[in-house]
Structure 1
């Protein structure tokens, strides 16, 4: 099985985690939402599979490019 690291595309705070570890995910499914400059930016899956790890929690600050989740395909 392959692992895909999912990274935040902007610096901001984790506003909402929409899927939990173990959930099935498809390509372009939203995993969580980052709030940045009063905008809500979804963090989406780049592959189909199962959410293996969520590496942040709601309210955490994240940087652009920071890995926030891992998907197992």
Structure 2
């Protein structure tokens, strides 16, 4: 299982994938909002979305798991 982590603290502005979606390496999966900037978070490896660990509007800290890929 591959995990996609938050690269910084911020609010989950938008989740751009759904469970079961196939993602490729480098594809954006979540967009964080921090200091009025939108920060796309990309998958480091390809796979299928197994679980989304956050909801839009959630606050996350750097290192928190956002998405799990199989």
For Structure 1 versus Structure 2, the TM-score category normalised by the shorter chain is: over 0.9
Deviation at 1:43, TM superposition (A): 1.1
State the TM-score, normalizing by the size of structure 2: 0.97
Query: Mapping of 1:28-67 within 5 angstroms?
Result: 28-67=26-65
Instruction: Could you tell me which runs of 5 or more consecutive residues in structure 1 were left unpaired when the two chains were aligned.
Output: none
List structure 1 segments (4+ residues) > 6 angstroms apart after TM superposition: none
State the number of aligned residues.
Answer: 70
Partners in 1 of 2:50 and 2:42 — Cα distance? Answer: 14
State the TM-score, normalizing by the size of structure 1: 0.93
